[in-house]
Chain A
Amino acid sequence: MKTVDDLERIRKQAKAMTRLRESAETTKIVVAMGTCGIAAGARETLSAIMDELARRNLQDVIVTQTGCIGLCEQEPIIAVMIPGREKVSYGRVSPEKARQIVASHVVNGQVVGEWVIPTG
């Protein structure tokens, strides 16, 4: 490291590594990982989401899991929560669908209507 700019560059890179431990308001993807979800392939869905986020360098997005929400026939289920907007749940999310949801909903803010689980 030779200059202050080098330090700043390393700081920004390293910051992305520890962002997870801060409580800032940020986009969250919740994957249902109950036994039913796992049986329906939620592990693969989760891996696909992680991979897609890494590929797109989306460091601000938090991925967490939840248990069975009682819609076992819709598994794997994922929910996308963007601050200030309503939570959207998707059903029967294959790894391929998950990648598209990341691209369309998380990146561009376009809800993928046809896969949404209708609520209410």
Chain B
Amino acid sequence: MIPYYYLGSISLVVIGIYIVIAKKNLIKIIIGLDIMDTGVNLLLISVGYVKNATAPIENVPGPYVDPIPQALVLTAIVIGVSVMALALSIAIGIYKKTGTLELDEIMGVEE
């Protein structure tokens, strides 16, 4: 039986993929990328979890959770923030040039 932590994070990733494919607004696509990012981070953290264990800070005795996924996710969050900032500023630039954020109107596609 698959644990529901994995199910939740996988569904976040899949929701992000659906938004990126189906939506046509640039801001919505960027939000979809962010949701995908969150899902991947949650998945990594839940892989490193150990039952009845505490955070890996060695003041207290007892079993600790795996510290490596947490360190990797710390990196991934910062990279996600910088990707988000760059994507949003590119979207602002596109809006200033074309006056719209809809992909169809930018590409000149007729419905």
To the question of whether A and B form a pair in one complex, the answer is: no
Taking Cβ atoms with an 8 Å cutoff, the residues of A that contact B are none
